[in-house]
Structure 1
Amino acid sequence: MMAINRYRLRHLVRHGHRGAMRTARLLANTDKLLGVILLGNNLINAAAATLVTVITIRVFGQGELALGMATLAVTFVILVFSEVTPKVIGATYPEKIAFAASFVLTPLLKLAYPVVWFINLFVQGLLRLLRLRPSGENQDSVLGIEELRTLVLESGKLLPSAHRGILLNLLDLEEISVDDLMTPRSQMEAIDIEAEADTLLRQLSTSHHTRLPLYRGHLDDIVGMLHVRDAAYHMRSGELDAEALMQSRQEAYFIPSGTPLFTQLRHFQENQRRVGLVVDEYGELMGLVTLEDILEEIVGEFTTQAPAQLSGFIIQPDGSWLVEGASQVRSINRKLGLHLPLEGPKTLNGLVLEHLEDIPEPGTTLKIAGYAVEIVQVQERAVKVARIFPIAGNVDTANG
C-alpha cells in the first residue's frame, strides 16, 4: 500500500479501475489504514507468541531453555513468514498486492472501525503532545522543478530519448533568458531606410529572413519592423524608398533584457509576435530574438544545412571546429555537443576574455572546461575566429 506509485494510482483511478479506486480511498485515510493493518498484524503476532509459549510449557515444561528456544523459533518464523518476505514481495509488486489487499482491508476496516478509532484517539493525542503534524497526501504529491527533472531523467525506457530531451529543455526555460539566445546587435541584419534604393533592393532581395528591423541612420533609432512580403510590391514597381518602407513597416516589439524564455514564449503568443528586439535597462539595443530561437531551444535545430556548413561553425579535417567569436556559448554546446560553462559570458569571445583577462593574440591557446581553444583571428579588440578541439586535452595549453 505504501510503496505504490501514487501518480500511476491516480491515472488508474481516472480510468475507472475498481481496485485502484478502492486503494485510493484507503490511502486517503492513512492513519485508519495503518490502524487496521497493524491491529491485525500485532494481534496475530502476539497470539502466535502466546500459543507457542503454551504449547512449549505443556510439551517441555517450564524450563528456561525450552522457553528460550521457543522464543527464538517463533521470532524466526514471524520474521521470515510474516514480516520480511511479505514486505519484500509487497515492495516488489505494489500494484498487484495493493489492489488485491484492498478487497480484504476495506471490509476489515469497517468491522474494526470502533477499535481503530479508539486507538487513533491516543495516537492523535500523542502527536499533538509532541507538536507533530503528519503531512497530508497532497503535500507529498507536490513536485518541484528539480524533482520533475529527476523524474524525467530516471524515466528510462518509458520515454524515448528525444521526448526526454524536449521535456528537460522545457523545464529549463525558466532558467534561461532571452540574453542567452538573442542574435547580438553586431550580427543583426537590419535595413537603413536612408540608404540608396539600389542598396535597399539588393539587401531585400538577398535577405534570408522574412522580417527585418528598420532603422534610420544608426541601430539605436529603430523605426519598426518590415516583412519582406509587404515590400515585394514596391520592389516590383521600382518605388522602393524610405517613404514606401515606412508605409509597409510594422511597429517594433521590444523585450526587456533578462526576460525568462518561458515568459517570453507566452508574451509572443499573447501579442501575436514572432520577433522581438532586446533592450537593456537604458533602452539600448542589445540584440534580436525570434520565436524560432525559443522553439529550437526546446525541440532542437530546424536547419536543413549539412552539419559541416552550420552558420558560424566549420569542421576541420582533424575533427576540430572553427567557430566565430560572437557565437553564443549555449548554441556552441548544443550544436557541437560540448559542455562549456554557461554561467557568465554569453559568447565565445566573452568566455575567452574572461579566462585570459586580456585581449589575446592570434595563436594563443587556452583550456576552457577541459577543451582546448586556439585563437585564430582577432579583430577590433575581440576574438573573431577560434578553433575548438572537442576532445579535452587534445592540445596542451600554450601561448603563441
Structure 2
Amino acid sequence: MCALLLLTSFTGTSKSLFDTTIKPAAAAPANYILLLKGKNVGLIINQTSCVGDSSLLDILLVRGIKVVKIFTPEHGFRGKADAGAHVDNTIDEATHLPVVSLYGSHKKPTPDDLKDIDILVYDLQDVGVRFYTYISTLEYAMEACAEQQKQLVVLDRPNPNGFYIDGPVLKKENRSFVGMQAIPIVYAMTAGEYAKMLVGEHLFPGAATLDLQVVKCLNYDHSKKYELPIAPSPNLRNMAAIYAYPSLCLFEGTKISVGRGTAFPFQQFGSPELADKYPYTFTPQSGEGAKSPTYEGKKCFGVLVGETPGEILKQVNGRLQLKWLIDAYTAYPAKDQFFTDFFKKLTGSDDLKTQIQKGETEATIRKCWQKDLKIFKTTRKKYLLYKDF
C-alpha cells in the first residue's frame, strides 16, 4: 500500500531543503508497542500511514498486535477518492479486517464502531492547514473515544507547513467539517500538539475525560522542512503543491479552477473567463482523484505559481498569500459571480469576501487578523511538543 502514491519529484528539486533525519512516531515501534500489547486495537489510517515500504498495519501485525478494525478519513484507505466524495465501508483484501469509512454515512465513530476496541490509534499525515479535513476526523475520534471511555493514541507526524502561522482565525458561526475550531488557516501544530490543545482547552464535549497519549516524532522541530514520502491526497502530489495549498485552496470558494484534473493541481489557477487577462493556459481533464474537475475540457487562462518546492516557498514567503486571489478577482469580468457560498466556510471569515470586493489592500486585510492571531499563538505555545520556529 505504501508505494501506491509516492510524491512526484521534479528534476532539479533541491534535497537540501529537507531534513532527512526527521521520522514519524510510527518509525520507532519500541515507543508505542507496549501501549498496544494485549489490547483490541483500531487504527485510523490511510496510504500515508507508513514507514518506508511498511504500513503501520503491517508493523503492528508482525509484532503480534491484535488489530480488529480500520477507520479511514476523506479520500479513503488508498487515498484515491475525490475531495468531498462519499467513501463506503469495505473489507481489506489482505487482512480481511473491516474498514469503516469516516467520510461516508458518518464522520464520527459510533458506539457500535468502537464497542470491540480498547485503543484507537490515529496515524495520518496531515498538511497543517485548517480546511484539510484530517484534523476534523481526529477531533470526532477524540470525542467518540471520550464518550465510550476508549484510549486514543496519536502517532505523531511532522507538519510540512509547520514553520509559520497565518490567515484569519475561524469564527465559530462558520464552523463546519472544513473548519471546526477557532484556529488560523495555517496553524503550525502537529496532529499530536493539536490533539493536546483540544483536550487542554476543553474544545470538545468530554475533553476532560479523554485518555490521550501522544507518541512524538523523531528529530523534528518547527523550523525544519519535512518532505512527505507519500502524497496525502490525490491532488497534493508533491511538496510544491503542499506549500502552495494554503493560499491557492482559497480559490475552491470561487469560480476559479485550481488545476484539478491537470499535471499541476494546487500549483496553478485559472478560468475560461480570464482569456484576455493571462497568457498561460491549462485544460482540466477527468482522471483519478478528479472525476469531474471544474471546467473539464475547457481551456483555462491563469497563472502557474511554480513547479518546484523552492519556487513555491519563495512565492509564499512564509505567509498566507492573498495576492493571487485579489489579482484573479480584479481580472474576473463578472465580479458578482466570482465567490461561491463555500468561501465563507473555507476561510472561516465573515469579512474577507467583502474586503476583497471593496478593493482593500492585502496589508489592510492582514491587519484585521492580528488580534485573533496573537490570542491563538499564546494558546498554541502551551501545547507544543517540539522546538518552535
TM-score interval, smaller chain: under 0.3
Q: Larger relative contact order (C-alpha < 8 A, sep ≥ 6)?
A: 2
Structure with a larger share of its residues in helix: 1
Question: TM-score under structure 2 normalisation?
Answer: 0.22
The two structures have a TM-score, normalised by structure 1, of 0.22
Mark the structure with the bigger radius of gyration: 1
